[in-house]
Structure 1
Amino acid sequence: MEATDSFHLYSFFASSCCQRVIIAAHLKSIPLTFSFIDLSAKQQLDDDYQRSLNPSRSVPTLVITSKDGKKTIIRQSLSILEYFEERFPEPSPLLPPRDKLEERARVRDFVNIITSDVAPPTNSRITQRVRDIRDGRDDQHDFAKACFTDGFKAYEALLTETRDEAASGGFTVGEAVTMADVCLVPTVDQAFMYKMDLAFVPKVQKLYESLKAMPAFQAADWRKQPDTPEKYRA
């Protein structure tokens, strides 16, 4: 890593997408500095933020500044994870080796269950729209829980298909953390905000508990971020 490069993350404590980036940065020993965008106060709608940093009006946004002052801005969490992996494959590679094509594809299947099937409809922007349209908090919560349930059942089924019982804990694919694990844990944390019980997906629950004990996942916990309100702190 070029020591003169800086990595500045625009983040929000309760964003699962930001959690992914923070986990990966800890795994790869990439130093981050932060600015905090309070989504609850709609700071992401600020004209300057939208115009100069993120036209999607979302987080995370990663600004990389090189030693010559050139700035690179990456605005989607998966793009950031892929950038980290391509630029800093060591330590803690997030994908299996290039000659393990089947395992790499399997990691991406798990990643997409979370990032394509679960995360978008459970995003606060979408669930709030459900609440506004249906005029009810219960509808918002029921919608989110249904999306989490479907996604976790799919993850559980794929774990059952691809891992034997003796290896069903620890990691999603192989014997080390991958991008799949980095995406899973923050989404389970989000589900717990809705008071979900994961007893219906025991392999996912066991996997989550194993990963959550690791330092990188602890460091990214939404209850331990610098901008976490005191009432939510662990």
Structure 2
Amino acid sequence: MHNSWENLSPPSFYCSSCCQQIIIAAYLKGIPLEFTYIDLGAREHTTEEYKQYNPSASVPILVVTSENGEKTTIRQSMTILEYFEERFPDIAPLFPPALRDRVIVRDLVNIIAIDTQPPTNSRIAQRVKSIRGKLEDQVGFVKQAFTDGFRAYESLLTKQAEEGTFSFGGSLSMADVVLVPAVDQALMYRLDLDIVPNVKRIYLALKELEPFKAADWRNQGGTPAKFRIQDS
């Protein structure tokens, strides 16, 4: 493997969109990962022991152990993705070479990572529900946040000069890595993707590719049996 001199071990939760991003990027770059599974439903991330590793009480964490035993801990998903890209820039690069093009990809990435994911995070969604104790408040809030984010993403796709297979032309980019997990989360809330036809088209194309199949939340080591994808 490309990083045989180090061990990369991320605590992961089976349906975390942030964990899914890491799995996709690692698969694309051929980076082996050794997983430790955290059960957010059982609130294992809120223990004092876990918070010593990540004060934000979130997943994933990437622990990189070098050949001499030195450990580097990375606690935010976007930082992990940047680490992968900077560590292995020539292997399946996730940003195009031209500066102008990288700006477009980064705008797409941040529509998801900054504008869409934070308000749809389960921690925030639960707080919205707790205001009146009504599930419909949570569902309505999250679906609107996804709708706003995906429509903004769709708008940038429409403004691009050419219609490509993926978010930026015909090459996979960091935008695709963050888009698919977000759409998966939105589909859990039964969001109708027909409101964003280009996002839907790109999402369906990406879900046919092995890195995105490998990262599917229904196909993880910690996925409960009732949710797992059954072999046909």
Q: Would you call these one fold, judging by a TM-score over 0.5? A: yes
Q: Whole-Å Cα distance in 2 between the matches of residues 113 and 197 of structure 1?
A: 19
- Asked if residue 202 in structure 1 is aligned to residue 197 in structure 2, the reply is yes
| 1:33-62 CA-partner distances (Å, limit 9, x unpaired) | 0001111111000111101x1111000000
Q: Whole-Å Cα distance in 2 between the matches of residues 227 and 103 of structure 1?
A: 37
Q: Whole-Å Cα distance in 2 between the matches of residues 14 and 163 of structure 1?
A: 35
Q: Whole-Å Cα distance in 2 between the matches of residues 106 and 40 of structure 1?
A: 36
Q: Whole-Å Cα distance in 1 between the matches of residues 57 and 157 of structure 2?
A: 34
| Identity, % of aligned positions | 54
1:89 to partner: Cα distance: 1.3
- Asked if residue 132 in structure 1 is aligned to residue 130 in structure 2, the reply is yes
Aligned pairs for 1:1-234 (under 5 A) are: 1-51=2-52, 53-97=53-97, 100-164=98-162, 167-168=163-164, 170-234=165-229
3-state SS of paired residue (1:39): coil
Q: Contact (CA 8 Å) 1:17, 1:59: kept in 2 or not? A: yes
Q: Whole-Å Cα distance in 1 between the matches of residues 54 and 23 of structure 2?
A: 18
Amino acid at match of 1:142: G
TM-score by length of 2: 0.96
Amino acid at match of 2:176: D
Q: Contact (CA 8 Å) 1:171, 1:211: kept in 2 or not? A: yes
Unmatched tracts of structure 2, length 5 or more:
none
Amino acid at match of 1:18: C
Q: Contact (CA 8 Å) 2:3, 2:31: kept in 1 or not? A: no
| 1:115-159 CA-partner distances (Å, limit 9, x unpaired) | 111100000000000001121000000000000000000011100
Amino acid at match of 1:76: Q
TM-score by length of 1: 0.96
**Aligned CA-pair RMSD:** 0.9
Q: Contact (CA 8 Å) 1:28, 1:90: kept in 2 or not? A: no
Q: Whole-Å Cα distance in 1 between the matches of residues 183 and 133 of structure 2?
A: 26
Amino acid at match of 2:207: K
3-state SS of paired residue (1:57): coil
Amino acid at match of 1:201: V
